[in-house]
Amino acid sequence: MASRFLLGIDTGGTYTDAVLFSPEDGVKARAKALTTRHDLSEGIRGAVGNVLAETGTDPSAIRLASLSTTLATNALVEGQGGRVCLVMVGFGPEDLERDGLRQALGTDPVVFLPGGHNVHGHETILDTGPLADRLDGLADTVTAFAVAGYFAVRNPEHELRVRDLIRERTHLPVTCSHELSSKLGGPRRALTTLLNARLVSMIDRLIGSSEDFLKACGIDAPLMVVRGDGALISAAEARLRPIETILSGPAASLVGARFLTGLDDAVISDIGGTTTDVAILDEGRPRLDENGAVVGGYRTMVQAVAMRTYGLGGDSELHVNTRGLEGALTLGPRRVLPLSLVAKLHGSPVRETLERQIKATHAGRHDGRFVVRSGLPQRFASGLSPADQALYDRIPDAPVALNDLLGSSMQKASLDRIVARGLVHIAAVTPSDAMHLLGRQGQWDAEAARLGLELACRTRDGSGKPIADSAIELAHRIEARMTRQSSEVILAAALGEDGIENIDPTKSVSIDRALKRTPGVVRFSVSMDRPLIGLGASAHVYYPAIAAMLGAESVIPADAGVANAIGAVAGEVSQTVTVTVTSPEEGIFILSGGGSTERMTGEDRTFELARARAREAAIRLAVTSGAEDPVLRLVEDIDAPEIEGRRKLVEARFTATASGRPKIT
């Protein structure tokens, strides 16, 4: 049999990773390219091109490609996405005040229609007239529609009628709430539908450009996308339900960690350039957030891994408390470009500027700090104030020293606003620079890192003394600070998973004594009940010391730096369908979910049909999503208490999950 390979791709904040994976032999090759935030497909092309060039693999030998991405998460966090019309069937304006729906809607249009259903699926007459009257005008001002009907999970008929009307008149994408969740809670389901519609065009462009690139390379294989719970879905399904790809990257890292280590129980901590993501692995499966994933401050109905994310990474900004007597250091939460990276990308002018600042008689206020454009197209700068626009126009594509750019505190405020818009990046000393100086990392410019750390040493604490006597000493202090802050965030995540929310590791005296191993008559200690798996390109640099501080076994797989990309191809396709049975009156049963709503008699007969419908729908969805020979699991939850000696059915839920490996061409 000819060699078969799978291609895994992950787009992170700093790097886009690609791995070439063999079902028989595991990882055959790995490659990285810097993530191009203004166009993620460019980073994908770079990473995939590198892995193919490195191995000389015939593209026709690749039988499956799988993508994990932070695009959806970042877009929602940053408030980006297309303009959407929300159609509320059976709801009123007061429902916009629930679950953050009005805030998420912003200035986008909303149309309220009479209609909807009750808890048993009985309808209120639908009137589509108010929508029909506005469709011609809306078609030219929005990119998609979101339709949410009252109790649509019990009867989706009105959502489907509205969807068909919109498609016929506008030919624009339409998302219906019953397609995304079977849970009750209309306003939150409407919120999830709205956010999904916002992402449709964005994810469609990413997947389209990825498919075009794969085809151009001669890779004729299905493209899968990692869902927020770690399962895989086909690219076609991801286009329809892009909201399900939120937390895709962190979910892929969990799947990759499980594959690489074989561990069933572990704390997994993934350090990137911007963030540290912490999650728990129990009995071989990631813990899921039962209440729905929170992204951009909104709690959705999307099932995703219970991931806690902290603004701490290898590219975190270094802060010095110049008022304290010892010049305490802190890291993050903002990401900046490491000086070592900027110098590698832009060459000797960065080093020459740092050398000139070191030789200067008087220290500059912003020594060792630069600003550079991020590469976003000019249209993203629309809406800047005159002052902000004037400053932005002075920033070239090459790095410029802040000392040469800023002349007042007002300009500093303008710069902060431009940075927040993602138009420019600040470059400064980071933990990555410290690791380059200490010889723990070497992919970028170590000399620029040394120069930046020497400049940073000149910063004086509250007593007037320099914060460090040498660049090496400061690098060790930064390393120690990274170890301590990482330990604190991992502890905070673990305590939260144990339901202990009232202990803040950053403020607890007891935890401080435990982490410092402070001697005393009362000796405090802290430890983990399972290994700590460290992931990320710099995991081997940081996690041995972090695990030691936490009293945990350190596990850092050989391919920790590309665990997300491995998770993208190591996961399974999984689809879940829930069929619900209620009883509005004795002897009458309403079956909903997995198809049309039906009114039936006979509990046993209704339950058996519910089981069959859930099984068949789950299998059908799994196969549609790309699964081969899916395995089925059925869970029943029947709420039927005895009231005054008689059994009363409140609700029965039959949940079928079909899982299987993706079909390989």
Q: From 26, 28, 5, 36, select the one nearest 16 (Cα to Cα).
A: 36
DSSP 526: -
Q: What is the pLDDT of residue 327?
A: 64
The pTM (predicted TM-score) of the whole model is 0.76
Tell me what the pLDDT averaged over the chain comes to. Answer: 88
Distance set, CA 323 to CA 295, 328, 481 (Å): 36, 9, 18
DSSP 93: G
Q: What is the pLDDT of residue 1?
A: 34
> In this structure, how many other beta carbons lie within 10 angstroms of the beta carbon of residue 412?
15
In three-state secondary structure terms, 251 is helix
Q: Is the pLDDT of residue 252 over 80?
A: yes
Q: Are 311 and 289 in contact (CB under 8 A)?
A: no
pLDDT cut 90: percent of the chain above it: 46
Q: Are 200 and 143 in contact (CB under 8 A)?
A: yes
Query: In this structure, what token pair is assigned to residue 562?
Result: 């590309």
Q: What is the pLDDT of residue 619?
A: 95
Q: By CB neighbour count within 10 A (0-12 exposed, 13-18 middle, 19+ buried), where does 382 fall?
A: exposed
128 vs 356: CA distance, rounded Å: 70
Q: In this predicted model, what pLDDT tens digit does every residue of 582-632 receive, in sequence order?
A: 998 888 999 988 888 888 999 999 999 999 999 999 999 999 888 888 999
Strands 400-401 and 370-373: antiparallel
193 vs 36: CA distance, rounded Å: 28
CATH of 260-368+429-563, one of 3.30.420, 3.40.1710, 2.40.128, 1.10.357: 3.30.420
Q: Are 302 and 192 in contact (CB under 8 A)?
A: yes
Q: Where are the beta strands (DSSP E) in 143-204?
A: 144-149, 174-176
- Give CATH for domain 573-660: 3.30.110
Provide the phi-psi class of 451: left if phi over 0, else alpha when psi is between -120 and 50, else beta: alpha
Q: From 369, 419, 425, 417, select the one nearest 397 (Cα to Cα).
A: 425
Return contacts of 211-219, CB within 8 angstroms, 24+ apart: 211/235, 213/41, 213/44, 213/45, 213/48, 214/48, 214/65, 217/48, 217/49, 217/52, 217/59, 218/59, 218/60, 219/7, 219/59, 219/60, 219/62, 219/65
Q: What is the pLDDT of residue 2?
A: 46
* Mean pLDDT confidence for 378-383: 72
Where does the chain hold its CATH 3.30.110 domain(s)?
573-660
What residues have CB less than 8 Å from 196, skipping those under 6 apart?
Answer: 146, 175, 180, 241, 242, 243
Where does the chain hold its CATH 3.30.420 domain(s)?
260-368+429-563
* Mean pLDDT confidence for 436-444: 94
CATH class of 84-199: alpha beta
44 vs 463: CA distance, rounded Å: 50
554 vs 491: CA distance, rounded Å: 15
Q: Is the pLDDT of residue 406 over 60?
A: yes
Where does the chain hold its CATH 3.40.50 domain(s)?
84-199
